[in-house]
Amino acid sequence: SQQGEEDPQALSIQEGENATMNCSYKTSINNLQWYRQNSGRGLVHLILIRSNEREKHSGRLRVTLDTSKKSSSLLITASRAADTASYFCATDQAGTALIFGKGTTLSVSS
């Protein structure tokens, strides 16, 4: 079963615009991780945010976590064509398995 649900399923923007993707989950978590995947192969780890954190930044990426609403968001600022990919949130409930959503497909056109 998949705990996380990303929204929207697909997003198309122009280069330079910001992209926001949301993730909702169902049960309490230890941490939440965001990944990027190109062409259906390996996942690239973007950010891990722990349950006692509310916001983290990494370069052009900003992740927020609201445990009361069981939701997280990933913001990519000043997007580039190279950001075109699928983005997944994954929740870690017990320190073992990650539970992934179905992902958001981001398309950035120049």
Partner 1 sequence: GAGVSQTPSNKVTEKGKYVELRCDPISGHTALYWYRQSLGQGPEFLIYFQGTGAADDSGLPNDRFFAVRPEGSVSTLKIQRTERGDSAVYLCASSLGQGNEQFFGPGTRLTVL
| 62 CB burial (10 A radius; 0-12, 13-18, 19+) | middle
Q: Does 31 bind partner 1 (CB under 8 A)?
A: yes
Q: What are the structure tokens assigned to 71, written together?
A: 């939701």
Contacting partner 1 within 55-94 (CB under 8 A): 88, 90, 92
Alpha helices in 16-80 (DSSP H): none
Supply the minimum distance, in Å, between the C-beta of residue 17 and partner 1: 25
Three-state SS at 81: helix
Among 48, 56, 61, 75, binds partner 1 (CB under 8 A): 48
The Cα–Cα gap between 52 and 70 comes to 13
Q: Does 100 bind partner 1 (CB under 8 A)?
A: yes
Supply the minimum distance, in Å, between the C-beta of residue 78 and partner 1: 25
Interaction site with partner 1 (CB under 8 A): 2, 4, 30-31, 33, 35, 40-45, 48, 88, 90, 92, 95-103
